Each structure stands twice: as structure tokens, then as C-alpha cells.
């Protein structure tokens, strides 16, 4: 049960995620290949507005995108009743935003 | 027509809305034999009460579609030799539609969705007005032409896994029809149709599996039509309701 607004929200979040995923993978490869320790990574991320914005945006886009995707799966594959779809979408989105936001806060602040 | 010595092992689904099962028949194989020929032979020679639907027998009316060896097909234009699995042929009513009896399905839901998608022409002129001149080279007319040869056979509707999973989904045929009308300059229901196809059961539920494209007997591409509707609806929304 996807209407116009949910469709656009999922497409726009995918549009945001595409470069962010590439940036995230590139960062991971860089960090691993140069043998950075956790404290060296935290030295770079703590207090950095750039990394906060990068991963904050990433978490926001993932929360929107995954919540709408799971909504479609819950309805079409698991036959979840329509009245549960909005609560499910909001719950998944909020939980992902909360967990992701907590992780971002931990490495930036 | 030359009759071959061998026989086909044909299983036909018999039953009604409450249930049923397959029955086996041995049907003489013939040259240039269609699946509809096989069904007709069974009704005329073995099972007079077998119910099925057909009319034109030349691929124009769209009434004879059935599941053949698990895939939706127009049976009057499907040669047995193209779909035979060894000597086995399994024929069943169309998927995704309620069965009335044997091979005849209830098409009401299918056609209700056509009207639900505003797949109906809304004229803007009367018979007293001059006929609107539309050039065959007009880009909108060309888009409509690519999708207009639908014969309402419901093969795409039966092939669509999204219809199976989401009964409120309008389906590829209805949305394809809506797309042809959105590209018809003479039509006067552009905005209401855009609202109809972008509602909860509308075009945004399509996952682009492209089963409709794979099975359409007229080689149409309803997935592309649905993508066109998604584009029109999104663009209209982002332009705050301005349509064309």
C-alpha cells in the first residue's frame, strides 16, 4: 500500500543514500587499509560537523527508506492488516533513527 | 489437418469457487493444434459439461486466456507444440481471478479496476464539433500508440505477482489503459485520472517485476506505461498540482 508521498519519500531517500553509501564504503576501506585504531578514528570524528552531517543525513535517509520498504514487505508478504501499516512504518523509522542517531552522537560528540 | 498417431496427456482443472482439482484426458495430437483446440476437443468428445470461454479464435477478443503449464496464455494463438512439456499439457483457469466454473473466471474485479483507474474515455467535444486533428507524429500520440493494442485478455493481470500479494492493486492492464488516455489530447479527465492512479492501490505499488511485459500476447510493455504514470504523478505533485 504505497501512495504518492511514500513513493516519493522512498525515491528521494534512495537518491540521497546512493552517494552516502559510496562515501561510507570508501571511508571504511580507507580506515581499514591504513590500520586506524578506534581512538584514531574517534580523534577524526569527534567535534567534526562534517562527519556529523554526513552520517546524520545517512541515518535519516536509511530510516525513511527502510521503514517504507518494510511496510511493503509486511503488507504483501506477511499479510499485515492495513490498519497496522502506518504504526509499523512510524515505529521502524523511529527505532532506526534513534539507534542510528545514538551511534552518530557517540562518534561525533 | 493431418492427424498424428500420438496422444497428448492433458490435465484440465475442473471445479468451481469452492474448490476442484485436475482431471486427465488423452487428446489426439494434431498438426498446428492450439491449446484452445485441445480444450474444445475435450468438451466435444470427452467432457460435455466442461466450461470455458472463447469467442473470436483469432487473438482479438481476449476472452480465451488460461493458465497453460503454469503460465498465462491466450489459448487460441498458442500452439501446443510451443508449450508442450514432453507430452504433458496442464490447463487451469487464470490466476489472480476468482473461478466461476472450470476454466471460466469471474472478470468483474478485473474490469472494475479498469474503471477504478479511470480507464474510461471522457470526451471534450460533441458530435457537432469537428474531429480533432492529431498527427501520427505527435509525441503523445506515439506514446499512446505503443500501449493501445490491449485486448483485455487479463494475461498480464494473471501474471502479476503484485496483484497476487496486494488485491487492491489496480494491475497492469488498467494502468496501461490509463496511460494511453493520459496521452490522448481529446480526453478531458487528466487530473482525476492522475489522482485515481496515484491512490493507495495505484501505480506506485508496481515493483517493476515485468511479468506483464514477459507474458503480454500483444508484446505491449505495461511496466513502461506504469513507469510513465509514476513520472506524471510525481512531476505533477512536485509542481503543486499543475498537470501538463
- Max distance between CA atoms of chain B, in angstroms, equals 69
Alpha-carbon gap: A77 to the closest alpha carbon of chain B (Å): 7
Say if residues B53 and B94 touch (Cβ distance below 8 Å). Answer: no
Q: Is residue B2 very low, low, confident or very high in pLDDT (cuts 50, 70, 90)?
A: low
**The domain over range A4-108 is classified in CATH as 3.30.420:** no
CATH superfamily of B108-238: Alpha-helical ferredoxin (1.10.1060.10)
Say if residues B154 and B221 touch (Cβ distance below 8 Å). Answer: no
Among candidate residues B242, B154, B141, B150, the one with its CA nearest the CA of residue B194? B242
For residue B199, give the nearest of A3, A8, A77 by CB distance. Answer: A3
Q: Which CATH architecture has domain B3-105?
A: Roll (3.10)
Residue window 70-109, chain A: list those with CB within 8 Å of chain B: 72, 75-77
For chain B, report the end-to-end CA distance as a whole number of angstroms. Answer: 56
pLDDT digit string, tens, across residues B129-143: 998 899 999 999 999
Q: How do strand B71-74 and strand B88-92 relate by DSSP bridges?
A: unpaired
Facing residues of B120 across strands?
none
pLDDT digit string, tens, across residues B175-200: 999 999 999 999 999 999 999 999 98
Give the Cα separation of B107 and B156 in Å (integer).
Answer: 13
Q: What is the pLDDT of residue B132?
A: 87
**Residue range B109-123: mean pLDDT, rounded:** 96
Among candidate residues A39, A59, A42, A6, the one with its CA nearest the CA of residue B234? A6
Pick out chain A residues at pLDDT < 70: none
Facing residues of A50 across strands?
none
Q: What residue segments make up the domains of chain B, in order of their start?
A: 3-105, 108-238
pLDDT digit string, tens, across residues B48-71: 999 999 999 999 999 999 999 999
Give the Cα separation of B90 and B13 in Å (integer).
Answer: 8
- The C-alpha cell 580507507 sits at A30
Cα dihedral B126/B129/B132/B133 (nearest 10): 160
Give the Cα separation of A69 and B65 in Å (integer).
Answer: 33
ipTM (interface predicted TM): 0.83
* Contact between chains at B166 and A1 (C-beta distance less than 8 A): yes
Q: Is residue B29 very low, low, confident or very high in pLDDT (cuts 50, 70, 90)?
A: very high
B204 touches chain A (CB under 8 A): yes
Alpha-carbon gap: A88 to the closest alpha carbon of chain B (Å): 17
Amino acid at each position: 500500500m504505497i501512495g504518492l508521498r511514500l513513493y516519493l519519500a522512498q525515491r528521494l531517500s534512495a537518491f540521497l543514500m546512493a552517494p552516502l553509501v559510496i562515501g561510507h564504503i570508501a571511508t571504511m576501506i580507507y580506515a581499514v587499509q591504513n590500520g586506524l585504531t578506534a581512538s584514531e578514528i574517534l580523534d577524526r570524528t569527534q567535534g567534526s560537523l562534517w562527519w556529523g552531517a554526513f552520517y546524520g543525513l545517512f541515518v535519516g535517509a536509511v530510516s525513511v527508506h527502510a521503514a517504507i520498504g518494510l511496510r511493503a514487505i509486511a503488507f504483501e508478504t506477511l499479510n499485515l492488516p492495513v490498519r497496522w501499516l502506518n504504526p509499523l512504518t512510524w515505529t521502524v523509522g523511529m527505532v532506526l533513527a534513534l539507534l542510528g542517531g545514538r551511534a552518530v552522537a557517540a562518534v561525533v560528540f | 489437418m493431418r492427424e498424428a498417431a500420438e496422444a497428448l496427456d492433458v490435465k484440465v482443472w475442473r471445479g468451481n469457487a469452492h474448490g476442484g482439482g485436475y482431471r486427465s484426458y488423452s487428446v489426439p495430437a494434431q498438426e498446428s493444434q492450439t491449446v484452445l483446440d485441445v480444450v474444445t476437443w475435450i468438451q466435444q468428445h470427452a467432457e460435455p459439461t466442461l466450461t470455458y470461454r472463447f469467442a473470436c479464435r483469432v487473438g482479438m477478443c481476449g476472452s480465451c486466456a488460461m493458465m497453460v503449464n503454469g503460465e498465462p496464455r491466450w489459448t487460441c494463438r498458442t500452439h501446443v507444440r510451443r508449450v508442450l512439456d514432453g507430452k504433458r499439457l496442464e490447463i487451469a483457469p487464470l490466476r489472480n481471478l476468482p473461478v466461476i466454473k472450470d476454466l471460466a473466471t469471474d472478470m468483474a474485479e478485473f474490469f472494475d479496476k479498469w474503471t477504478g483507474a479511470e480507464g474510461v474515455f471522457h470526451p471534450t467535444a460533441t458530435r457537432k464539433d469537428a474531429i480533432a486533428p492529431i498527427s501520427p507524429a505527435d509525441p503523445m500520440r506515439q506514446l499512446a500508440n505503443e500501449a493501445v493494442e490491449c485486448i483485455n485478455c487479463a494475461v498480464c493481470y494473471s501474471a502479476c505477482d503484485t496483484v497476487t500479494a496486494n488485491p487492491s492493486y489496480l494491475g497492469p492492464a488498467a494502468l496501461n489503459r490509463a496511460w494511453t488516455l493520459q496521452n490522448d489530447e481529446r480526453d478531458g479527465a487528466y487530473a482525476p485520472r492522475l489522482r485515481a492512479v496515484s491512490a493507495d492501490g495505484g501505480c506506485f505499488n508496481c515493483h517493476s517485476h515485468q511479468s506483464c511485459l514477459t507474458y503480454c500476447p500483444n508484446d505491449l510493455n505495461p511496466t513502461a506505461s506504469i513507469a510513465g504514470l509514476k513520472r506524471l504523478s510525481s512531476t505533477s505533485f512536485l509542481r503543486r498540482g499543475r498537470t501538463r
